[in-house]
Amino acid sequence: MLSQLHQVEQSLNQVILGKQQQIRFALCCLLAEGHLLLEDLPGLGKTTLAHALANSLGLSYRRVQFTSDLLPADLTGINIYDARSQQFHFQPGPVFSQVLLADEINRASPKTQSALLEAMEERQVSTDGETRPLPAPFFVIATQNPLFHAGTSALPESQLDRFLMRLSLGFPERAAEHQLLVDDAKGSRLQFLTQQLDSNTLQKLQQNVANVTVSDGVIDYLLSLVDASRNRNDMLPLSPRASKALLRASKAHALLAGRDFTNADDVQQVFPSVAEHRLDPRSSAASHSLSHIILEQTVCPL
């Protein structure tokens, strides 16, 4: 099962070159049943990543381009009157998919944003008094542009908290980009991707994450990291939701590394991606300064 997951990782690496770390964290996010916020300039491969993930995992994939006139119903779906059967039929929106790419999420109105965020948290959608569950692995990859904010509504702090991790792909290395350009002539890399995993296996893997052992020492260390953020006034304090997210991400990271226990390095490695957007919502995804301050100032007794 795990080897299949590694194959997925490998094939993703063939599509997005030179971004092993980010791909691993994205998978981590998926395994930990969290959602991912990608913050990047346009054209750095956010969509490709989402698409490739969906393809190789055999998941249904929808993409929504968020705009200021996007309504909640455009996202969740509406009841349409069928004149023939004289009944209302629910027409499910794009949110009813397994991998949803919410492109430029900050362009949508706060109302639409919160509809999506509610769906992310509750994993269900309520329309016209009826509650409909979302498909089982439900993974949202939201993207936003860190530079151009005109006409956008930034995600509020409380809603940023809903994303397990915030990542930035960043520019590729020169060699990787060279390879990219050479291969481009041969056609899209996405078409080489084959399905390596089905959604059932993925769900089992997600359950395995919960079974990863976490020793008291690791939890203590994790708590002292969280505590460190709460005793300072140059950053926002990390919520219990954040510490839960940190633990889940660490466990998923351990599982991806092929271990059945979490160690301190797992916590240290996922900490910047999990914590930075909660410590300072206005920071850019590329900077991990606050989380590194905490990591450096917290004693690791393990």
Partner 1 sequence: MLILLNRQTILTFNVILVSVIALLQSALPLWYSAILILLLLYRWPLQQSSNTVNKLKRVNIIAALILLLLLVSIKQSGVFHLMLQILLLSAASRLVLVRQRKDSHQLLWVLYFLLACCFIFYQSIMISLLIMTLLLLTLCCHYQLYASKNQRIQLVQIGKALLITMPVWLTLFLLFPRLQPLWQIPTAQAAITGLADTLDPGSIENLVQSDALAFRVVFNTLPPPRQEWYWRAKVYENFDGRSWTVNPRFLRAQLTKQATSSDEAGTKVSYQIIAEVSNQRSLFALSEPLELTSEIRPTAASLIEARRPVSQRLSYRLTSTLNKVPADSADETQLNLRTANANPQTRALARKWAANGSSTPEIIEQISSLFRQQPFYYSLNPPRLGANSVDAFLFDSRTGFCSHYASATAVILREAGIAARVVGGYQGGVWHEDQQYLEVRQREAHAWVEYFDQNRWQRFDPTAVIAPERVLAGLDAVLSADEQNQLQANWRRFSAINFISQQFLHLDYYWSVWVLGFDDSQQRNLWQQLKAASKFIALLGIVVLIALLLTWYRYYTKRPAKLAAPVLLLQRYLQKMLVYKALSQSHSAFILQLSNYNPAQALLLADVDTLYQRALFAEDQYAMQQLKTLLQCNRKQLAGLNWPEPNKQSQAS
Residues that bind partner 1 (CB under 8 A): 213-215, 217-218, 220, 224, 259-265, 268, 295-302
Q: Is 177 left (phi over 0), alpha (psi -120 to 50) or beta?
A: alpha
Shortest Å, Cβ 4 to partner 1: 24
Identity of the residue, 263 or 283, whose beta carbon is nearer to partner 1 in the bound complex: 263
Residue 236 CB, nearest approach to partner 1 (Å): 21
CA dihedral sign, ordered 271, 276, 279, 281: negative
Q: For residues 18 and 176, what is the distance between their CA atoms, to the nearest angstrom?
A: 6
Residue 173 β-bridge partners: none
In DSSP terms, which residues pair with 103 in a beta bridge?
A: 65
Token pair recorded at residue 270: 């996922």
Q: Which of 104, 99, 102 is nearest to 75 (CA)?
A: 102
Q: Least distance to partner 1 from the beta carbon of 25, Å?
A: 18
CB 51 within 8 A of CB 195: no
Say if CB 196 and CB 55 are below 8 A apart.
Answer: no
Q: Please say which residue, 262 or 283, places its beta carbon nearer to partner 1.
A: 262
CB of 82 to partner 1, least distance (A): 58
Q: How far is the CB of 272 from partner 1 (least distance, A)?
A: 13
Q: Closest distance between partner 1 and the C-beta of residue 172, in Å?
A: 25
Give the tokens for residue 134. Answer: 């979302």
CB contact at 8 A, 251 and 214:
yes
Q: Which is nearer to partner 1, 88 or 261 (CB)?
A: 261
Residues paired with residue 132 on neighbouring β-strands, in sequence order: 125
Q: Which is nearer to partner 1, 56 or 291 (CB)?
A: 291
Give 76 or 263: the residue with its C-beta nearer to partner 1.
Answer: 263
Nearer to partner 1, 128 or 296 (CB): 296
For 232, list phi and psi in degrees, rounded to 5. Answer: -125, 160
